Structure 1
């Protein structure tokens, strides 16, 4: 249907999509800041002014952590794409931030896959989707490994009132669902728009080992950066806690937030709820954790997405695509 449109109709269609993404992202930001039931915006800003902790030095350092966080994400994307074609760092930046902006209003930020894919000619798009999947899986792998370590230490350190029967039932259900899903995929030769699981596995195996090492290494560096940023905010807010104790809770928090599928709209809510619950064992008040979670969201998602809005508005479909 898109192929049958005239050139002017295509440009108009693309312009509508661009504006829809920008309007949707803007509404999402506005709604989360001004209509947040968990943290009143005016209460949030008043609290920040009251503690008077954001000196120029602290602000600059927090922004530097955000820049480095996204620098390594962009570098990771550039390295992954280099297996298909060479792109500049600026092109990788445009695709990463544009994808972030487009993903804000989609379930589990799935819009990032489509947004990055359309920056490339049609013959590359399937592989681009799977390279993006590899980048996200590597980040999830690091989060899961460190999160499990954190949860085990957290459980052995703090007295948790858990319903073991309910946990066992949930675990059994997950095992059954995963088993049936694996069996079904094997029997049906599952395909994603003509790209089978077998081809995907073969595609991953054929990638150079250095790509896999770089992918996991950069994901680990990013994890260290944004988790330290959370810890640094705890220090700014006057929370007296050592780095080791904080990381036990922070790693557990990111694991819990990552394993729960959600719309991006509710992503910050899930992270905040997990953080409030876990930090309550360290006697950190709710308002402090709500404020820190909101700042982390503003620094690492909203601020980059504002720059991404510029790239979305200036996006042009590759000439070779149809």
Structure 2
């Protein structure tokens, strides 16, 4: 009788190919959209460099953008500290080191593998891999914060439509509401969901079972940290817009930022330089409805990426090196 062991391997290999080519397709569409938009407005990347050269980097918005960068990642570290304490009690400093190491490793590795590995390898406990559940909950909290505020932004946007809600946006709104409802239900049933009666999952249960032990207070605190972090990098986005002379009414600005981060959250990630390109394409599409020139919005989003991702990654490389030294 033919062995069944090869069937899952073929299925897994086929799934990996589908996911890979899907990501390549989405990446191609994003890059093409950015290129076509710039070409349609008769601008090129040289215009972006011109905006960078002429920007006032000593202005108050630029200084505030810089000062909020450590606050951004400190809030992420605080969220991680709250959740990982079920595996190993750590200080805020140790949590920050783990977060930055994970950010650096996640810069190149697929999905959230690098981010999770960096955080777990920074722990000292022999049971560090049980922190996978903590990492999943941490990422889930940030996802829900983006969905929550993005749903509000989408609702405000739809309220100002002159006609009936567009079908696609209306469907998206109710899907987001359903997603949040399911998330709340999953949180309430977390003790049951972790221990699913599925035999092939039970062998891995110990790695995420920590998620079932969180109290309601811990989950609320973690979501609060995620929400504060969301508001922090949203404020950074606002300052980046000001640096390059993009001044819209408050409603349009807040709605636009919320929709951009919503798009970045729900669009499948490819982890090419930490999703570089997703925010840019989404921003050009969202702010384009208010006739914001493409080079200006591209300059703002790339600046945000440099401050919030690239700079912390360079710091995180030091902690990745420390991880290597400590595991030899």
Q: Tell me the TM-score range normalised by the shorter chain.
A: 0.7 to 0.9
Q: After alignment, is 226-235 or 159-168 more displaced?
A: 159-168
Residue equivalent to 1:232: 239
Q: CA deviation at 1:190?
A: 5.1
Contact 2:47 2:295 in 1 (8 A): no
Q: What is the number of residues matched between the two proteins? A: 270
Tell me: CA distance 1:165–1:274, structure 2 relative to 1, closer, same or farther (3 Å).
closer
| Alignment pair present for 1:48 and 2:39 | no
Deviations 1:151-183 (A, max 9, x none): 222233247999848997xx99xx9xxxxxxxx
Rounded to whole Å, the distance in 1 between the matches of 2:111 and 2:297 is 23
| Alignment pair present for 1:98 and 2:101 | yes
Residue equivalent to 1:245: 252
Residue equivalent to 1:309: 317
Secondary structure of the residue aligned to 1:314 is: helix
Q: CA deviation at 1:279?
A: 0.5
Residue equivalent to 1:119: 122
Deviations 1:69-117 (A, max 9, x none): 1111112212222222222222112111011000011233321112222
Residue equivalent to 1:257: 264
Rounded to whole Å, the distance in 1 between the matches of 2:246 and 2:163 is 22
Rounded to whole Å, the distance in 2 between the matches of 1:278 and 1:122 is 45
Contact 1:108 1:261 in 2 (8 A): no
Q: After alignment, is 62-71 or 80-89 more displaced?
A: 80-89
Contact 2:51 2:244 in 1 (8 A): no
Residue equivalent to 2:298: 290
Superposition CA RMSD, Å:
3.3
Residue equivalent to 1:20: none
Residue equivalent to 1:273: 281
Secondary structure of the residue aligned to 1:282 is: coil
Rounded to whole Å, the distance in 2 between the matches of 1:164 and 1:214 is 36
| Alignment pair present for 1:151 and 2:154 | yes
Contact 2:88 2:123 in 1 (8 A): no
Rounded to whole Å, the distance in 2 between the matches of 1:279 and 1:89 is 37
Structure 2 residue corresponding to 1:195, chosen from 190, 205, 208: 205
| Alignment pair present for 1:62 and 2:62 | no
Please give the residue correspondences for 1:143-222 in structure 2 after superposition, counting only pairs within 5 Å: 143-158=146-161, 164=167, 188-189=198-199, 191=201, 194-195=204-205, 200=208, 203-222=210-229
Rounded to whole Å, the distance in 2 between the matches of 1:133 and 1:254 is 20
Rounded to whole Å, the distance in 2 between the matches of 1:70 and 1:60 is 17
Q: CA deviation at 1:149?
A: 1.8
Q: Which runs of 5+ in 2 are unaligned?
A: 1-33, 179-194
Q: CA deviation at 1:277?
A: 0.5
Q: After alignment, is 53-62 or 265-274 more displaced?
A: 53-62
Tell me: CA distance 1:57–1:246, structure 2 relative to 1, closer, same or farther (3 Å).
closer
Secondary structure of the residue aligned to 2:289 is: helix
Rounded to whole Å, the distance in 2 between the matches of 1:142 and 1:160 is 29
